[in-house]
Amino acid sequence: MPHSLTDVSTFTAPAVAPADGDNDAQASFDPAFQALANRTRFLLDKALGGVTAWPIVGEARVASLMNALPDNQSAIGWFSTRPFWTATTVDAMYLLCGINDIVKSGEVITAFDALCKPGAARSAANGVLVDLCYVAHDWLTPTNEPVAITVIAATHDDGTSNKQRIVATPFTHTVDRTINEYFFRVRSGSTASAASDFLYALRLIVTRPTA
């Protein structure tokens, strides 16, 4: 006679199916159907239990330099074959690269890195500097604008003029986009007018802790 299975919200593994030679009694088939029923309940609870995103750990996301803004329009250069930035006319100028489009509230930023080529060997204080920042706009009191920039983490070139990957010291920051605007701030070296700095790419490492 047909009978009902009681599904349990757990991802039963493995799902065991009958083997050749097993009899065709209920006991041979129930374990496989039970495992599938459990998995179905587990997935349904995940889908309808307030979880809108599966957990991810250490996902790399590349920021687009296409919309980055320099603080001096004459100091930005784009190359026809691929977009990258060069600081050529202003020493210690800044490039601002918004990243609100690649982060979501609740995610945790754990690292970032950059690909660059300093124009000259300089000390850390005078070289290429990359900051991960946000601005917490005061939407209730507009007279407080402009608000100060908060630097989450920073890194700089290795003191040589080699093409290089520069990496921030590990950190954690939980994204809150309800009021915060996130961006990279890249500062060119102190002698960029005489020795051009090149920035090729910026990247975030993000964890989404939602389970």
Average pLDDT of 100-116? 93
- Asked whether residue 51 carries a pLDDT value surpassing 60, the answer given is no
Q: Are residues 169 and 128 in the same domain?
A: yes
Q: Are residues 128 and 82 in the same domain?
A: yes
Q: What is the pLDDT of residue 80?
A: 41
Q: Which domain holds residue 150?
A: 56-208
> How many folded domains does the chain comprise?
2
Q: What is the pLDDT of residue 102?
A: 92
Where residue 120 sits, what CATH number does that domain have?
2.60.120.260
pLDDT digits (tens, 9 = 90+) for 53-64: 567 778 889 998
pLDDT digits (tens, 9 = 90+) for 69-94: 776 544 445 444 456 777 666 677 88
Q: What is the pLDDT of residue 76?
A: 47
Q: Are residues 17 and 97 in the same domain?
A: no
Q: Are residues 182 and 83 in the same domain?
A: yes
Q: Are residues 44 and 96 in the same domain?
A: no
Range in 43-47, 113-117, 120-124 the model is least confident about: 43-47
Q: What is the pLDDT of residue 182?
A: 97
pLDDT digits (tens, 9 = 90+) for 133-170: 999 988 888 898 888 999 999 999 999 999 999 999 99
Q: Cβ distance 103 to 172 under 8 Å?
A: no
* Spatial distance between the Cα atoms of 171 and 89, rounded to a whole number of angstroms: 34
Q: Structure tokens of 42?
A: 């587990």
What is the overall mean pLDDT for the chain? 83
Q: Are residues 22 and 36 in the same domain?
A: yes
3-state secondary structure 137-194: CCCCCHHHCCCCEEEEEEEECCCCCCCEEEECCCCCEECCCCCEEEEEEEECCCCCCC
Q: Are residues 12 and 39 in the same domain?
A: yes
Q: Are residues 18 and 34 in the same domain?
A: yes
Q: Structure tokens of 178?
A: 């309800």
Q: What is the pLDDT of residue 131?
A: 95
- Asked whether residue 3 carries a pLDDT value surpassing 90, the answer given is no
Average pLDDT of 120-142? 92
Q: Are residues 71 and 39 in the same domain?
A: no
Q: Are residues 37 and 108 in the same domain?
A: no
Final residue belonging to a domain, choices 9, 35, 52:
52
Final residue belonging to a domain, choices 52, 76, 93:
52
